[in-house]
Amino acid sequence: MAASRRPVHPDRRSAVVAGASSGIGAETARALAAAGFPVALGARRVDRLEELASGIRAAGGEAFVHPLDVASTESVEKFAAAVAAALGDIEVVVSNAGLLAPGAILDATTEQIAAELDVNVLGAHRLVRAFGPGMVARRRGDLVFVSSDTAVRARPFMRGYSATKSGLEGLVEALQMELEGSGVRASIVRPGPTWSEMGSDWDAEAGARVLTEWVKWGHARHSHFLKASAIANAITTVVSAPRGVHISPVDVNPEAPIAKEES
């Protein structure tokens, strides 16, 4: 028997966060919940989602957990059906799930590049297909895509990541034009270097090479990185903008340390 759909209050704006088990996704779920959005948390690590949901509920927010693998169309469709039954019509979707690995393009297999494209680009499109048509039918909604500064300035030895983020932004820019006048906003949030679990499983030598190359090519002017909460706050600002206002793209970069005064 199909689950019954929850009645929806006109002012209720339920939100989906894909890739919510850690980093930017987890902080975004917390920020949206604190701002009054009921949040549906999706990722493969369900145990991490349950822990996050418990914290949100303890703080007075509303959270729903369901497994999600954006590389699987079947998983995305099951997730979409489950969250609609639990939270009603979805007004906000944050596409944050990502795959990042170190390595040279020459050394990468085509299958490795394809896996990154499947998560970072096709995964975002699966979410658009699952939630976008309903938003257009209701003539309101926000689709937010977490990109990267590597989309506009490629970084070496990050395999296919820059290509996937450039591809994602091309997809979203076309989507923005197609959605104009529909009441649905498609927005890009583009983080600079950010502390998160992405890269925490890298081999130490590979990670050191990546950072060294960043300095060599002028990508790291200083040592400061963003906290994931800074990206979460930017996303919350984008989806909280009043109707008639579209904030995109949003570049979020770490501020340099304040220079010491010369004596």
CB-based contacts of 172, cutoff 8 Å, min separation 6: 124, 145, 147, 186, 187, 188
The C-alpha angle with vertex 170 and arms to 214 and 23, in degrees rounded to 5, equals: 55
Task: Give residue 104's region: left, alpha or beta (phi > 0; psi -120 to 50).
Answer: beta
Distance CA 140, CA 99 (A): 30
Instruction: Find residue 194's DSSP bridge partners.
Output: 226
Distance CA 188, CA 198 (A): 19
Out of 161, 172, 189, 238, the active site residue is: 161
Distance CA 75, CA 78 (A): 5
Active site residue 161: yes
Distance CA 82, CA 40 (A): 9
Amino acid letter, 186? A
CB-based contacts of 235, cutoff 8 Å, min separation 6: 28, 31, 32, 94, 144, 146, 189
**Which active-site residues does the annotation give?**
161
